[in-house]
Structure 1
Amino acid sequence: MTDLSIVIPMKNEEDNVGPLVAGIVEACSGTDFEVIVVDDGSDDATADVARGLGETDARIRLLSHPASAGQSAAVHSGVLAARGRVCCTLDGDGQNPPEELPKLFQPLLADDTGRLGLVAGQRVARQDTASKKWASKFANKLRSRVLKDGTRDTGCGLKGFRRDAFLDLPYFDHMHRYLPALFKRDGWEVLLVDVSHKERQAGTSNYTNFRRAIVGVPDLLAVAWLIRRRKKARAVEVTASSGASHD
């Protein structure tokens, strides 16, 4: 078991693997950590580059999906395989600066209350196209109105969470966009932190605004249903010392 696992979902990001992993290693220096690259059915050299990095640094691991299953599936596979009690995620396109990772894992590793479940990044000064920023702004407003999850940017890939708490969440495709609402549903505290954002340096996006919109509405309704149907109470064990006393 280790303290920290960094999970990176990747598809066709061969030119971003090396710089991103190098930045993660530097950002996590001084922490007991591992890096898990999850290759989601790439048809380029993403897996080969990651495998080569792992041959020189045992902290770098590679998981591979034989066919693309999507970002949530890649994150879920990485967390299942993780050895850390705390996991962090960031997008594989290099737009989430790895130097922001300590903002996520340090509060979780230092938490002594047992109540903090998620630290979620919120992008500032986004380096995206105008159409992508507009679509994201619209989606975030709609989601916030329906779910009341308290975050302005749930689509940010920079997130840190307790591994056990994440694996207790109901899994479904695209769940990674709804983690603040899902963690709150299960009674965990959620901390929001501002993080920076960079332009994509290589490769092309695997998503379109239209595709995001098509899948977004059914997912939003499903999460709203899950919140309404959440378990209302947790059992507390009653021991002999906490029960009624007898004279």
Structure 2
Amino acid sequence: MRAVALDDAGQPVLADVPEPEGPGELVRVLACGLCGSDVEKLRPEHAGVVLGHEVVAETGDGRRVALVHHQACGECTRCRAGHEATCEIFRAPTIRPGGFAERANAQAWVELGHGVDAARATAVEPLACVLRGAARVPRGRILIVGHGFIGRLFAAVLERRGDEVFAVDVDPARAGRGPDAPVDAAVLCAPGGVDTALAATAPGGTILVFADAGAIPAGPVYRRELTLVGSRSATQGAMREAAALLPALDLPEPTVLPLERFAEGLSRYRSGGALKVVFVP
């Protein structure tokens, strides 16, 4: 089957790869979104890998589903404490070989309704990650640092629950309304931005680290009694919640391209020319 795999230099190329095998069910991929974490893996040590985890597929009996990227055991101390993404088995792949392919072997999924097309439905997985992170953010005045697609998801979720949301970005064209006073919490969802978040957050406030934003100095955290919390990835429960919520959100339309134009889509993502890129087989 056709797939976008990484060559020896860690660069994506369209290739013929074996049909997926192993546990799970064979599904037909309808669309797969490009995530920043995919771009981070474009390195020689990942040669041969097929990336892609924001996957919408069709099962053998015709159901449209969003594939679950990772699964926790649900029984260990970490899982019971709500830290499923740190479960010992969480890193095991559940989508083989990956979503940038014609077919995949899937171990778990959530069903989709009929009101959202496949390309837009690829937002279920990142939305599930955002829902899990947003649950750790106190209500109030909240600053989003990094207003790309993930930042837009956070803004949509937080505004829906009644928060006053501000958003900044290194690209002025992407920035939203800047804060007019200190905020109760900040969400770091892009590289960099630590100084911006620290400067904007009121004493006693919270900073959610949702991206590898760089080193965070301890001084301001200590002196202003700030709370730092981290969150990454999604759970199957969050995926179900995201699938139900997605039709109600007003989100930017993705740029949709065939797998043959992967290099173009990657370039548009990296340059900021496309807020979200989705590939279809």
Normalised to the residue count of structure 2, the TM-score between the two structures is 0.26
More strand by share: 2
Higher RCO (CA 8 Å, separation ≥ 6 residues): 1
More helix by share: 1
